[in-house]
Amino acid sequence: MPQTTPAASDDSRTRFGFPAIARKKVSAAFDGGRMTCDGGVLLLSQAERLMGICERLAACIADPRDPSRIVHSLTDILRARVLAIACGYEDADDLDTLRDDPGFRLALGKLPGSGAGLASQPTMSRWENAPTTRELARMMVAMVDVYCASYPAAPAAVTLDIDDTCDVVHGYQQLSFWNGHHGERCFLPIHVYDTATGRPVAMLLRTGKTPSGAEAAGHIRRLIRHIRRHWPDTHITIRGDGHYGRPEVMTFCEAHGIDYVFGLPTNAALRTDPEIVKVADACAVKRAEGNHVVLRNYTQTRYGAKSWNCQRRVVARIEASILGMDIRYVVTSLEEGSAEHIYDTLYCARGRAENLIKLHKAQLASDRTSCRSANANQMRLILHTAAFWLMWRIQQAIPKAKALASAEFATLRLRLLKVAARVIESASRIRVAFASACPDAAVFRTIAAALRSAPT
């Protein structure tokens, strides 16, 4: 009996069929050779090396391994993990199946057909759990440094949006806490974005309860201190919802020349303020007389709560409708600008930060904080933020006239990263052959050229 050869028993060469086309038989097999489904990972690799994110992060972690026995450098381990996250492989388990993917091997500077592959899942998991609290603090500072370095020169002014988001836990993990508002055991990590440009600034894992004024002020103080090392003269405005309109936060901002625009929860004193009551009554009467479905007006007052050390400017957005009266309040240090401008143009623009949080959580899976250790989950949050930076950098390289310039990360991944390519290695060169019919070939080529020539 003839023996079955390994090639004949290889499942990848097993043929299967599809319906015939024009009387021609259609058969298929996974025998196309050295190909990758993630050809766009090479774009991510160029962006990462230009920004130097993984080198910055690796420099913050002590590596106790014997240098003579190291196969995968710490930078390459982190780089592989971040590139995989950006390509949609959010679990470390996925690295076991990507170890010999020729696209990822090229992205890490390895030959596609020889040498060690990518680091395995156990290696990734060990390094996710390795950093100490102090090392994680240094890594968070490094991410702020990445943010500042992303500007070619210090900007005249920036507005930073701060917000927290519900991250439902996967069990009784460190820092998990029951949150009555969300009805879940969760974390409430703090996200900070430069919303006008879509840049991530800082991400901090924390327990599932609303931050106190002292805690929020402490986080903002440390963030401002790190930014000021790079930009001593940049005017900074902090923007957030009512969680951050606390006296400790406002006092810190006023003492350090930081402007703020914060939501302000309603209370009995605001509801009975003479100026607000007068404008609200006039708005309701005008709506009824004009038979409008909804009518909006704005006003402002000076208000000082008992816990405040002074009176501050409060802007009220008044909306009368057939359903009743709705009044929202904003407290601000800005003395210029109308009440309408403060609320509609400045405060409402923070909604963009919520969209960025959705990109971070839903499209880069940064809520996969399923480790038992809080440090390991903070490490994951940092790695997913690094992947956010790479996607942002790819987006910035797209010509503004193209529709993809304003696309979400999931669309960018589908159109630019999930691109099949054949990797051909010869004695003197490596050629990556993309599909001739790739619909975004021109944009892909433009991005590759822009990242190659971009300044570091």
Contact between 135 and 111 under an 8 Å Cβ cutoff? The reply is: no
Count other C-beta atoms under 10 Å from residue 123's C-beta. Answer: 17
CA proximity to 42, closest of 380, 423, 359, 439: 423
If one counts every other C-beta atom within 10 angstroms of the C-beta of residue 25, the result is 9
- Phi-psi category of 175—alpha, beta or left, where left has phi over 0 and alpha has psi -120 to 50? left
What is the helix (H) or strand (E) element at residue 206, kind and residue range? none
Question: What one-character-per-residue DSSP string does 210-276 give?
Answer: PPPHHHHHHHHHHHHHHHHHH-TT-EEEEEE-GGG--HHHHHHHHHTT-EEEEEE---HHHHT-HHH
Question: For residue 263, which phi and psi values (nearest 5 degrees)?
Answer: -65, 155
Cα–Cα distance between 397 and 135 in angstroms, integer?
Answer: 32
Compute φ and ψ for 188, nearest 5 degrees: -125, 75
Predicted local distance difference test score (pLDDT) of residue 24 = 87
With 0-12 / 13-18 / 19 or more C-beta atoms within 10 angstroms meaning exposed / middle / buried, residue 246 is buried
pLDDT at 15: 84
pLDDT for 11: 64
Let me know how many helices (H) and strands (E) the chain has, helices first.
Answer: 17, 16
pLDDT along the chain (456 residues), means of 10: 45 79 84 87 96 96 92 94 95 89 93 85 93 97 97 96 93 91 93 96 95 95 97 96 93 96 93 94 94 94 91 96 94 94 94 94 93 95 97 96 94 95 90 92 94 61
Instruction: Give CA separation, 60 vs 10, 55, 71, 387, in Å.
Output: 45, 9, 20, 18
What's the pLDDT at 453? Answer: 58
